[in-house]
Structure 1
């Protein structure tokens, strides 16, 4: 049996890894559209919504590096199977038990599961490192298509059956991912780091990830449903929110492979700088009371970053693939964990104009120092 390093192992197709992570994510993706609007049906306060939507990120602060350390020993295949099982269980708990403690445990389980999914999917993608960007883009495209369909379909189920039954249905659907994970081929494990587990030290890319996580994955996502509630009245707020979030994923379907291909040939950094400028512009538009246009710009550019960032991480070349990606993911998750915790208070106490203007300023400054300056 070959013991070649992952970079020289026979490349593994991305269809099955992409299917596993895509199906596992449907419960968490829908939760962001449903929970802020229907929190009372889950027996939760709005403040607890912020805690729950941030909790999985707090867990991933430790889980990203812990999973990478563990995954270097057992391999991505075993991580995939465990993560698929955890995802099905956590999604089912969302709809099955009306209890804050159970919801907290479900979010903890999902945080660990997603860390495993994210890192192991990347390991499969870079089994062919010369085409890593294209393969990451293809994986993100598969994820985007499934998330877009699940958001629209899930919102329709919510309107027909209610907010909790949809998660029981999605929990059963997630078992498809478990079957796909079991039949995945194995990859050779990377050499384990001799220094053992430790939390990563942030560099420029990690700082950018923190700010983008706080503003884009934290404050913006938690307040999006309320922004759409005030700006779109022709459809139900949950459907408007789901459609807008679905657009982000559809962007990845169309631009993910293209962005990965361009990044492989011309470098992802230039594209990331232009994309960051558009992201900042989206926050500026919301500050100017153009909520729908600004939100459209944010979700599209944020979707593009999901393809660009893994390529930037690989180009940087700090440590093994798993440990390097874990370092960035940890600090992005830190920002996305702080964002939802502070968002309810910010949204209720700070007017929309200064709030989103401040977010735009912080994003712009961090993009300059982290992406533009060498």
Structure 2
């Protein structure tokens, strides 16, 4: 079994912390902007909705261009540019006044995040191989989501006390402060391999069952968790229990309960994500574990859609969040496995695009379905597509075992 390459543990931790620092400002906006939109110079809440989603749609057409650029400028240049741009944009959140300025900043954040995410994936791919990619991606996913936790928990608090500009300036400074980490660790990994074949030839190279399955998994897992769950859990709580939920210590608002339940995931990921990654690297193999977890996730999503006794429902939500940690980590590792022997930059570019499409389509299709059949139908639909995806992975595992036998 091949081990993680020399110096790669430090490089993976470094790029994870860089990503976390750059994510704090964006995560802060999801808490602070809906309540401080007038201070930001906006005229209505619908403008807030556009600003919080436009970066995802911007990323879709940009991802192929950034993948192409990485094959020419190298990982170090791309990550340095992303960190500088992120720091300046986050500071800009404290200076923007009016919808047009905010719209420009959020579109540029889409560029910056794609640069950073692609650079991180390419760094990690150079640090590992199929034997240990689960553990490495688990370490990366667990650490970088600390940025979401810090941004969400402290961003609203700082904005309430000293205003949103104070939070923006602070998080912008934190992002820029990671530049020494980039300069220290980015040179230890290779630049993205330049792929000289024509585009159609590269697409034919990646048209294999393993790569198609990995891309489909990235899209559907992102649609379920980044799309449906992240955007609608508070809506589901409000639909089933009203604007306030009675817990043992008192009533909690639907938005506060949803935020707390989702923040728990970012709190446990530094420990759980690497564990799931190592588990998938083990003798049982990634395919069986991924397939089984997808089926379990489908059952839990179906349970969350029901109006169960509150204690049982909360347990189902926590279980669902655990499967989100596991599936995101193992799905990333499966994509890395598929990219090891093929056009690496092309595969990871397509994977980033697939997850972005899933994250963007999840809320749109979910809320469209909710209008027709109610909030619970969003989770039931996500359960169905994850169940089907799980059967796809399990059937592949059974076929491989039969062929070996």
TM-score normalized with structure 1 length = 0.84
Cα distance, 1:129–1:285 mapped onto 2, change above 3 Å: same
Tell me the SS of whatever aligns to 1:357: helix
Residue in 1 aligned with 2:79?
80
Structure 1 unaligned regions, length at least 5: 1-6
* 1:311 paired to 2:333: yes
Residue in 1 aligned with 2:403?
none
Tell me the SS of whatever aligns to 1:188: coil
* 1:368 paired to 2:391: yes
Tell me the SS of whatever aligns to 2:351: helix
Residue in 2 aligned with 1:272?
290
Q: Report deviation, 1:341.
A: 4.2
Rounded Cα–Cα distance in structure 2 between residues aligned with 1:104 and 1:64: 19
Q: Give per-residue Cα distances to partners, 1:286-312, cap 9 Å, x unaligned.
A: 320256444433332222223212210
Cα distance, 1:49–1:66 mapped onto 2, change above 3 Å: same
Q: Report deviation, 1:275.
A: 2.4
Q: Give per-residue Cα distances to partners, 1:196-233, cap 9 Å, x unaligned.
A: 66896782222232222223212321223444563546
Rounded Cα–Cα distance in structure 2 between residues aligned with 1:343 and 1:275: 22
Tell me the SS of whatever aligns to 2:126: coil
* 1:115 paired to 2:95: no
Rounded Cα–Cα distance in structure 2 between residues aligned with 1:366 and 1:50: 31
CA contact (8 A) 1:151 1:243 kept: no
Rounded Cα–Cα distance in structure 2 between residues aligned with 1:129 and 1:208: 21
CA contact (8 A) 2:218 2:332 kept: no
Residue in 1 aligned with 2:344?
321
The match for 1:332 among 355, 372, 393 is 355
Cα distance, 1:260–1:41 mapped onto 2, change above 3 Å: same
Q: Give per-residue Cα distances to partners, 1:308-352, cap 9 Å, x unaligned.
A: 122101222363333222211211111211234455655566522
Cα distance, 1:44–1:180 mapped onto 2, change above 3 Å: farther
Deviates more, 1:181-190 or 1:214-223: 181-190
Cα distance, 1:210–1:85 mapped onto 2, change above 3 Å: same
Q: Give per-residue Cα distances to partners, 1:105-137, cap 9 Å, x unaligned.
A: 222222222222222222322333243332222
Deviates more, 1:294-303 or 1:191-200: 191-200
Rounded Cα–Cα distance in structure 1 between residues aligned with 2:13 and 2:88: 23
* RMSD, matched Cα: 3.2
Q: Give per-residue Cα distances to partners, 1:72-126, cap 9 Å, x unaligned.
A: 2222111111111122233333343242222222222222222222222223223
Q: Report deviation, 1:171.
A: 2.2
Q: Report deviation, 1:23.
A: 0.7
Tell me the SS of whatever aligns to 1:106: helix
Residue in 2 aligned with 1:289?
307
Residue in 1 aligned with 2:30?
32
* 1:128 paired to 2:145: no
Cα distance, 1:145–1:365 mapped onto 2, change above 3 Å: same
Matches within 5 A, 1:88-107: 88-107=87-106
Tell me the SS of whatever aligns to 1:335: helix
Structure 2 unaligned regions, length at least 5: 397-405
Bigger radius of gyration: 2
Matches within 5 A, 1:242-257: 242-257=259-274
CA contact (8 A) 2:76 2:186 kept: yes
* 1:224 paired to 2:202: no
Rounded Cα–Cα distance in structure 2 between residues aligned with 1:249 and 1:193: 36
Rounded Cα–Cα distance in structure 1 between residues aligned with 2:43 and 2:222: 24
